[in-house]
Amino acid sequence: MPDIPWSTPTPAAPGAEVHVMASRFETATLTGAVRFLLKSPGIIRQMRKAPGAHGVALRARVLSRTFLTLSAWEDRDALYRFARSEPHRSSARAAAAYMKESVFTQWTVPATELPLGWDEAERRLADQQADR
């Protein structure tokens, strides 16, 4: 599966600060990676319809069993509402059984910095992982 490039479900208001979340998932097995991959399109579709979602992207490295997500939200509450809703909620719980490692980081940026690129997200994820 190729990467899913940045898409903007709902543009942020001019001058707004947006809440950003990046994640890195590594599955324990290739089978786990395939499971994650098969769930990804449904979760991306859900994100594109989620209230308060200002952007979403996925980087899939199936053979290395690694997936990165990058999203922008109106605020932290919008992100958490999405995370608690279906199908994300049950998919995340099921994925815990085949995950080797997960790393998350969050920060805010001015809406004028959207769309976000992977360089900053990967740097922040590496910093977060090093701090553990």
Condensed to tens digits (0 to 9), the pLDDT of residues 2-60 reads 689 999 999 999 899 999 999 999 999 999 999 999 998 889 899 999 999 999 999 99
> Which residue is it, tokens 């786990």?
32
How far apart (Å, rounded) are the C-alpha atoms in residues 19 and 76? 6
Condensed to tens digits (0 to 9), the pLDDT of residues 62-108 reads 999 999 999 999 999 999 999 999 999 999 999 999 999 999 999 99
> Which residue is it, tokens 């999203």?
71
Element (H, E) at 55: strand 53-61
